[in-house]
Amino acid sequence: MEITVEQLAAIVKGTVEGDAKAVITNYAKIEEAKKGSITFLANPKYTHYIYSTEATAVLVRNDFEPEHPVTATLIKVADPYTTIADLLNFVNSQRPEKVGVEQPSYVSEDVTLPEGAYVGAFAYIGKNVKLGKNVKIYPQVYVGDEVEIGDDVTLYPGVKVYHGCRIGNRCIVQGGATIGGDGFGFAPKADGTYEKISQVGIVILEDDVEIGANTTIDRATMGATVIHKGVKLDNLIQVAHNVEIGENTVMAAQVGIAGSTKIGKHNMVGGQVGFAGHITVGDYNGIGAQSGIPNSIGDKKRVLGSPAINALEFARQNVYLKRLGEMYSDISALKKLVNGGKKD
């Protein structure tokens, strides 16, 4: 990539303060940027870096006014974070598009490869699979029988999509993820052993869903495990059978969701959160990292801890917890005073 600040500012509809003819050749984080780099400042806690960065240009908000001299050229935009994301997406889109079928691979005879499709080496596509336009199936992907995949879907290396599952348009599934493995269903028997319960449902990923690397989404016992439109799941997440995750909910790594739990829309879930089974979580909640959710919660809550409680109450309890040692000493001193200096 090689583009002048002036040209880049025209693309993002930004205002230049500084050398408009300076040349940009790469992207970098503000604390690591060197000459030729463009970076961005969106979080105020990184403001001090703008006075020391070696970047050639920095995307900042329209209302940003430096308190000290800045050597970098500033490009003022409405939202630097969104702007840098759009620029990175643009650069990524310029990569050569993969098209065609690499060998060795297996594509069932009854499968029609649509316009713009790519099938990588050692991929397997089973019987009666329906593929949308521009689908990209990377090496070592397994697509089971009767699977339906929409337009502009990308399955990265090592993805497994089991029989009957459905994936909507513009979905991305990162390497190693498994869609549609059996749910954890076993019936206890009188002799203390367990009998496997057949899982005959499917998994449905609606449009614009992204699934992180090595995340597993189990098929339903009956019916469907449903990941609704716009959901983003990070790496190493476990979604059990018959779970439903509402539109535009995002989850960080290592979340675990037990069977038949229903999670609403626009929730933000931190890493390592655990959800008990058969509960309902409402909409627009914020759930802090490592929280345990044993019971249903409503809408627009902010919770932390295990078991999770109101975030403000959690913060207060943490203050008290830090003072336990001091409180113990005070209570011991009071007891001695009451007992006339005698120990219990």
Quick check: is 68 catalytic? no
Report the distance separating Cα 120 and Cα 106, nearest Å. Answer: 10
SS3 state of residue 328: helix
- What is the arithmetic mean of pLDDT over 232-241? 98
Report the distance separating Cα 178 and Cα 163, nearest Å. Answer: 12
For the domain spanning 100-312, the CATH number is 2.160.10.10
The CATH fold assigned to 3-93 is 3.40.1390
**Tens of pLDDT, residues 44-82:** 999 999 999 999 999 999 999 999 999 999 999 999 999
DSSP H or E segment with residue 23: strand 23-24
CB 15, CB 31: distance < 8 Å: no
Residue 268 backbone phi and psi in degrees, to 5: -120, 120
Predicted TM-score of the model (pTM): 0.88
DSSP single-letter state for residue 183: P
Quick check: 95 pLDDT over 90? no
- What is the arithmetic mean of pLDDT over 231-238? 98
Report the distance separating Cα 205 and Cα 244, nearest Å. Answer: 10
**Tens of pLDDT, residues 256-310:** 999 999 999 999 999 999 999 999 999 999 999 999 999 999 999 999 999 999 9
Report the distance separating Cα 200 and Cα 325, nearest Å. Answer: 55
At residue 342, the pLDDT reads 63
Kindly report which listed range (87-101, 177-191, 302-316) carries the lowest average pLDDT score: 87-101
Which residue in the list 48, 163, 228, 241 is annotated as catalytic?
241
Kindly report which listed range (20-34, 80-94, 114-128, 258-272) carries the lowest average pLDDT score: 80-94
Domain range summary for the chain, segments of one domain joined by +: 3-93, 100-312
